[in-house]
Amino acid sequence: MDLSMYQASVPTFIRMLNNLSDILSKAQAHVDAHKLDETAFTGFRLYPDMFPMARQVMIAGDTAKGAVSRLAGVEIPVYEDTEKTLAELKVRLAKTIAYLRGFQPEQIDGTEGKEIVVKRRDTEARYSGRQFLLDNALPNFYFHVTTAYAILRHNGVEIGKKDYLG
């Protein structure tokens, strides 16, 4: 049986966003146990020119909801990007997961050949649905989830590969 566009997107995004939420719970426990400044913690980054941890989480969720919305041909919901705490980031992830759960396979399946146009500043990138999902959305999503994980691990949160994979 072939893997469908729905199976390759919605459940994958949901599973990894749930894993990321669980990782943020472990980060909260770490912050609380060590009496750390939570907003400094969410502001940590791997390198000065990279986004901080909070932004990595936001982009991971935005990538998931954007990918599924584009494939389904519906407008992408916009979030305000005001989250500063781990708890606020978890709420944002929960909202994104609930949004993704609202999609049905018939909205996504069959979009392999659909033209997807992504506007970035003053340019446009054009993809087939399959190319967009497999070569753009999923790699970008995993990049930001992995970077958030790496920032937290680097700063002492006791997480491992099992937490990342769920």
Q: Are 20 and 148 in contact (CB under 8 A)?
A: yes
Report which of 158, 156, 154, 144 is spatially closest to residue 58, judged by C-alpha positions: 144
* CATH 1.20.120.450 applies to domain 5-165: yes
Domain boundaries, the chain: 5-165
pLDDT tens profile 29-40: 999 999 999 998
- Residue 125: pLDDT band by 50, 70, 90 thresholds? very high
Q: Please state the separation of Cα 25 from the chain's center in Å.
A: 16
Q: Is the pLDDT score of 124 beyond 80?
A: yes
Q: Are 156 and 30 in contact (CB under 8 A)?
A: yes
What's the confidence (pLDDT) of residue 154? Answer: 96
Q: Which tokens is 100 given?
A: 């993704």
**CA neighbours closer than 13 Å in the CB half-sphere of residue 132:** 27
- Look over the chain and give the mean of its residue pLDDT values, rounded to a whole number: 96
Distance in angstroms (rounded) separating the CA atoms of residues 27 and 52: 15
End-to-end CA distance of the chain: 25
With a CB cutoff of 8 Å and minimum separation 6, the contacts of 157 are 23, 26, 27, 30
- Residue 153: pLDDT band by 50, 70, 90 thresholds? very high
Residue with tokens 């992830």: 93
Distance in angstroms (rounded) separating the CA atoms of residues 83 and 57: 10
What's the confidence (pLDDT) of residue 33? Answer: 97
What's the confidence (pLDDT) of residue 47? Answer: 96
pLDDT tens profile 72-96: 999 999 999 999 999 999 999 999 9
Q: Is the pLDDT score of 161 beyond 60?
A: yes
Using CA atoms in the order 30, 35, 39, 41, what is the torsion angle rounded to 10 degrees? -40
Q: Are 61 and 2 in contact (CB under 8 A)?
A: no
pLDDT tens profile 35-77: 999 998 899 999 999 999 999 999 999 999 999 999 999 999 9
Distance in angstroms (rounded) separating the CA atoms of residues 150 and 46: 8
